[in-house]
Amino acid sequence: MNKLVQILEHMQKRPCMYFGRGGDQRSLDVVEAFIMGYRFGVEGGDKTLPFTHFTRWIAAHYRVLDGPKGGFTLIREHVGGDERLAFDEFFKLLPLYARDMAELGPDGIHAHYGQVMSQLPEET
């Protein structure tokens, strides 16, 4: 299993241990910041689960245009802006994204995104 996925699974179970915030520690903001820091901090990068295709995967999953929005923003919008719900939603989607990256790869993710986008009604 990918090291980043293992760390994220631990975060899901014990967010206070990783984030040290009072109250409810579930926040997609801190998960997003952690992933960004991890990607830049790991020597050579953790290429087994790149998040460079995450936005297109999320857009296809929700059947929405991504435009200038990132995957984490799309998740927040999907749950009405609630950070705790966005945190939970991210961890619900993480194993699905990891599976699709393993089975389809980046090219398959982009092909699926293209198919889904072509089926969306055109905005006027």
Tell me what pLDDT residue 124 has. Answer: 47
Taking the C-alpha atoms of residue 90 and residue 78, their distance in angstroms, rounded to an integer, is: 11
Which residues, 6+ apart, have CB-to-CB distance to 20 below 8 Å?
Answer: none
Mean per-residue pLDDT, 28-39: 84
In angstroms, the first-to-last Cα distance of the chain is 44
Instruction: Give the confidence band of 39 by pLDDT, cuts at 50, 70, 90.
Output: confident
Would you say residue 42 has pLDDT above 90?
A: no
The three-state secondary structure class of 20 is: coil
DSSP state of 120: S
What pTM did the predictor assign? 0.79
The residue that leads in pLDDT, 46 or 32, is 32
**pLDDT tens string 59-117:** 999 999 988 899 999 999 999 999 989 999 999 999 999 999 999 999 999 999 999 99
